[in-house]
């Protein structure tokens, strides 16, 4: 696989072959700076994790990167962390945890829908995330083993798995629920009990700006995706 970067910032993923057609002409696939058949400058290089991750196959609704970035800032999840995820879905968040925790870390994800599971497994394989443990079930039916630093619940009813997840979250560990509606947020809040801190609730609104002679924000952005609800286990 190759990544072609045009000077406009536009990028293309190209399979391993001799040339690739773009709207800026044909590009020879040889590593390094080059010029297309119409004289446009390109860089041909290998894709990074992010280049591939942003283009994974979409099945069910993915967790948005703007929200995943916030979770990193709020929890500090990084190399060596153990992450338990319920709601593997398309694997977008799964792959992000996998990338962040590195070889010393561990990611276990639950996905009970066979159709979504297929997309998840394909996407994990595509990015080489073969050491992610995928459990094709609900954690109440097949509980996890060991303890985790972060539990990420990207399912409509996180309170339904709270007991089993809590048994495997270390004291001080983070419970993050990712929820589109306030009703769900309130239900999580009332389900947490004494074992957890009062949750904090966050929403990220994202807007990109257009550079050039008339620099201004783009007229549309990414507004509501889901609330990020963060609590720490204290018992």
Ligand X SMILES: C[S@@+](CC[C@H](N)C(=O)[O-])C[C@H]1O[C@@H](n2cnc3c(N)ncnc32)[C@H](O)[C@@H]1O
Q: How far is the CB of 87 from ligand X (least distance, A)?
A: 3
Which of residues 136 and 195 has its CB atom nearest to ligand X in the complex?
A: 136
Which of residues 44 and 185 has its CB atom nearest to ligand X in the complex?
A: 185
Residues 6+ apart with CB under 8 A from 57: 90, 119, 122, 123, 126
- The alpha carbons of the chain give a radius of gyration, in whole angstroms, of 20
Q: How far is the CB of 30 from ligand X (least distance, A)?
A: 34
Which of residues 179 and 192 has its CB atom nearest to ligand X in the complex?
A: 179
Q: Which residue is nearest to ligand X (CB)?
A: 89
Q: How far is the CB of 178 from ligand X (least distance, A)?
A: 7
Residues 6+ apart with CB under 8 A from 20: 2, 4, 12, 14, 26, 27, 29
Inter-residue contact 82 to 58 (CB < 8 Å): no
Coil vs helix vs strand at 60: coil
Which of residues 44 and 226 has its CB atom nearest to ligand X in the complex?
A: 226
Query: What is the residue-wise DSSP string for 143-164?
Result: ---S-EEEEEE-SS-GGGGHHH
Q: How far is the CB of 73 from ligand X (least distance, A)?
A: 18
Inter-residue contact 22 to 6 (CB < 8 Å): yes
Residues binding ligand X (CB under 6 A): 60-63, 86-87, 89-93, 110-113, 116, 138, 154-155, 161
Which of residues 27 and 117 has its CB atom nearest to ligand X in the complex?
A: 117
Q: How far is the CB of 222 from ligand X (least distance, A)?
A: 15
């Amino acid at each position: 696989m190759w990544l072609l970067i045009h000077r406009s910032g536009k990028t293309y993923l190209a399979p391993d072959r001799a040339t690739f057609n773009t709207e800026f002409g044909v590009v020879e696939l040889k590593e390094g700076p080059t010029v297309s058949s119409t004289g446009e400058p390109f860089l041909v290089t290998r894709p990074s994790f992010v280049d591939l991750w942003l283009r994974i196959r979409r099945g069910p609704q993915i967790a948005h990167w703007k929200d995943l970035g916030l979770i990193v800032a709020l929890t500090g999840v990084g190399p060596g962390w153990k992450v338990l995820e319920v709601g593997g879905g398309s694997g977008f968040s799964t792959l992000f945890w996998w990338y962040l925790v590195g070889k010393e870390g561990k990611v276990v994800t639950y996905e009970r829908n066979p159709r979504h599971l297929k997309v998840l497994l394909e996407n994990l394989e595509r990015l080489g995330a073969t050491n992610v443990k995928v459990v094709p079930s609900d954690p109440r039916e097949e509980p996890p083993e060991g303890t985790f630093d972060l539990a990420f619940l990207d399912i409509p009813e996180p309170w339904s798995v709270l007991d089993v997840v809590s048994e495997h979250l270390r004291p001080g560990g983070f419970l993050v629920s990712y929820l589109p509606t306030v009703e769900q947020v309130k239900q999580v809040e009332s389900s947490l009990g004494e074992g957890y801190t009062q949750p904090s609730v966050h929403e990220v609104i994202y807007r990109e700006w257009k550079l050039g002679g008339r620099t201004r924000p783009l007229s549309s952005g990414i507004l509501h995706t889901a609330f990020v609800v963060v609590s720490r286990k204290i018992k």
